[in-house]
Amino acid sequence: MSQYVLALDQGTTSSRAILFDRAGRPYDVAQQDFPQLFPHPGWVEHDAIAIWESQLAVARQVMRNANVSAQDIAAIGIANQRETTVLWDRKTGEPIANAIVWQDRRTASICESLRDAGLGTLFQQKTGLVLDAYFSGTKLKWLLDHVPNTRARAERGELAFGTIDSWLIYKLCGRHLTDVSNASRTLLFNIHTLQWDDELLSALTIPRSLLPEVTPSSGIVAHCNAEWFGRTLPIAGLAGDQQAATFGQACFQPGMAKNTYGTGCFMLLNTGNSPITSHNQLLTTVGWQCTSNTAAVDYMLEGSVFMAGAIVQWLRDELGLIQQSADIEALASSTSDSNGVWFVPAFNGLGAPYWDPYARGTLLGMTRGTSKAHIARAALESIAYQSADLMTAMQKDASVPLLALRVDGGASRNNLLMQFQADILGSPVIRPVVTETTALGAAYLAGLGVGFWQDADEIAGFWQVDRCFEPRMSVDERSSRLSIWHRAVERSRGWDSPSE
């Protein structure tokens, strides 16, 4: 009997593969970084071939390291960086350009033109999203408009578009498909009908022939070719990374929320089987759909912060303040506060609830007494402040109080940050034993899809608390800090506006 589920966790800066056992515990892991490409200010690209090769390499590596064969694996689940856009030749399987990453801001002017044309409400009503360069639709339009001969080839049906899940499935299986969670991040998918939408495609001048088939998130959707792992294996779980992390956190009931601290910061609240339209600049998105009940879709409210762990990478790589990312906690803890320094990390604009593509990174309040420890502390605190803004907007939309926030991702292991997050939220922050919840969610979806696990109740029983951070900050101090934070945010906004 197969003893493991293999999760492929394709992230923004690295590809990982993790084997999970029947108790939902990580058995072994392999990880490989790949290059980040910044051809122009505000542009972020990936080599899609490098993504594929790194993901295949770590999948094979984790099997070798664990001495596990394909016969020991029940299914494969895939979680992926969302919105990152790949366009490739259907016959050769070669990308026609670098992938445009979710962080890329080159299509901000396209979004502005669509809003000026009065289409913002149409897109929000049908997709649950705001018109922002974050999402895939305008990235695909840019490729069709700027790569020579691409639009004509697309019209002839020679090209295929996909987010990273689609790209990996195409390379593994030769199939062209995506799941509802990833489709809901494209600006092209109607989250009410669960179909690609012709009116939206027309608004963005995108041929329908480019689009993948849309499937549920759990259930066998394809089989990988035997050449990759020695035998065919079913791919039975698909989800965008943040939806996968929400599933891995067992947030199965309406009102349950999680926050992932990765390259960016992503907070999702389960709202049940009906979408809630946000009136506070949040996103309404599909969480997942399981084949065991294809009529039922779990919807989410989501807030996205563009810069979280990436701030620590910047302090390490560009400023040289630390040698390793893990050093940030000790440096920030060496001072009791930020000494009046405020850091708004709007390097690629601001996400929810501001949606300002022209905001830029801002350091305020520095004096001759400012040290690198103060900057490090302000950087960590900025992650918590941004997340607090998301939760405030989320509670207004959902009209439910936050009882506790489940956290995961690399930075959730930073105790200083997690305590400050609890303080500035005024609510407990709970870190589980297994913080690799993105990969875990992909594994759970795949395992459910092949009967490796029976149901959501069994999975929920695996979730265990590692540590609960209780708020200590007074209401008055919390209010004062948030007020100053919002002043700092206003200083950063509109800095790179083309009208200036």
Q: What is the pLDDT of residue 254?
A: 85
Based on C-alpha coordinates, what's the Rg of the chain? 22
Q: Is 313 annotated as a binding residue?
A: yes
Indicate the helix (H) or strand (E) that contains 144: helix 136-146
Whether omega before 471 lies within 30 degrees of 0, making that bond cis, reads no
Distance CA(241)–CA(77), nearest Å, equals: 11
Does pLDDT of 499 surpass 80? no
Crossing angle of the two packed helices 164-173 and 48-65, in degrees rounded to 10: 60
Q: What is the pLDDT of residue 190?
A: 97
Q: What is the pLDDT of residue 496?
A: 82
- What is the distance between the terminal CA atoms of the chain, rounded to a whole angstrom? 65
Q: Is 12 annotated as a binding residue?
A: yes
* pLDDT bucket at 498, cuts 50 / 70 / 90: low
DSSP per residue, 43-61: --EE-HHHHHHHHHHHHHH
Q: What is the pLDDT of residue 472?
A: 96
* pLDDT bucket at 292, cuts 50 / 70 / 90: low
User: Strand (E) positions, 347-498?
Assistant: 362-364, 405-408, 429-432, 465-469
- What percentage of the chain has pLDDT greater than the value 70? 98
Alpha helices in 295-351 (DSSP H): 309-317, 327-333
Per-residue pLDDT, averaged over 173-196, amounts to 96
Q: What is the pLDDT of residue 115?
A: 94
C-beta separation of 211 from 196 below 8 A? yes
Q: Is 387 annotated as a binding residue?
A: no
Handedness of CA 483, 423, 325, 307 (dihedral sign): negative
Does pLDDT of 93 surpass 60? yes
What pLDDT, in 10s, does the model give residues 35-82?
999 999 889 999 999 999 999 999 999 999 999 999 999 999 999 999
Pairing mode, strands 4-10 and 14-20: antiparallel
Pairing mode, strands 265-272 and 257-261: antiparallel
Does pLDDT of 403 surpass 80? no
What pLDDT, in 10s, does the model give residues 417-460?
999 999 999 989 999 998 889 999 999 999 999 999 999 899 99
- What percentage of the chain has pLDDT greater than the value 90? 80
Q: Is 410 annotated as a binding residue?
A: yes
> Which residues fall within 8 angstroms of residue 118, CB to CB, at 6 or more apart?
none
Q: Is 83 annotated as a binding residue?
A: yes
Residue (of 40, 311, 57, 297) closest to 171 by Cα position: 57
Q: Is 92 annotated as a binding residue?
A: no
What pLDDT, in 10s, does the model give residues 211-266?
999 999 999 999 999 999 999 999 999 999 999 999 999 998 888 889 999 888 88
**Helices (H) and strands (E) in the chain — how many of each?**
17, 23
Q: Is 69 annotated as a binding residue?
A: no
Average pLDDT, the chain: 93
What the block records as the tokens of 69 is 């064969």
Does pLDDT of 500 surpass 60? no
* pLDDT bucket at 402, cuts 50 / 70 / 90: low
Q: Is 13 annotated as a binding residue?
A: yes
Q: Which of 116-120, 262-266, 302-306, 409-413 has the highest mean pLDDT?
A: 116-120
* pLDDT bucket at 306, cuts 50 / 70 / 90: confident
Per-residue pLDDT, averaged over 142-158, amounts to 95
Q: What is the pLDDT of residue 401?
A: 67
Per-residue pLDDT, averaged over 284-294, amounts to 81
* pLDDT bucket at 314, cuts 50 / 70 / 90: very high
Q: What is the pLDDT of residue 422?
A: 95
C-beta separation of 483 from 254 below 8 A? no
Work out the number of other CB atoms within 10 angstroms of the CB of residue 411: 25
User: Counting Cβ atoms within 10 Å, is residue 455 exposed (0-12), middle (13-18) or buried (19+)?
Assistant: exposed
Does pLDDT of 294 surpass 80? no
What the block records as the tokens of 71 is 């016969």
Q: What is the pLDDT of residue 355?
A: 85
Distance CA(178)–CA(8), nearest Å, equals: 15
* pLDDT bucket at 109, cuts 50 / 70 / 90: very high
C-beta separation of 74 from 452 below 8 A? yes
Q: Is 14 annotated as a binding residue?
A: yes
Q: Is 263 annotated as a binding residue?
A: yes
Does pLDDT of 347 surpass 60? yes
DSSP state of 358: T
Crossing angle of the two packed helices 309-317 and 372-398, in degrees rounded to 10: 160
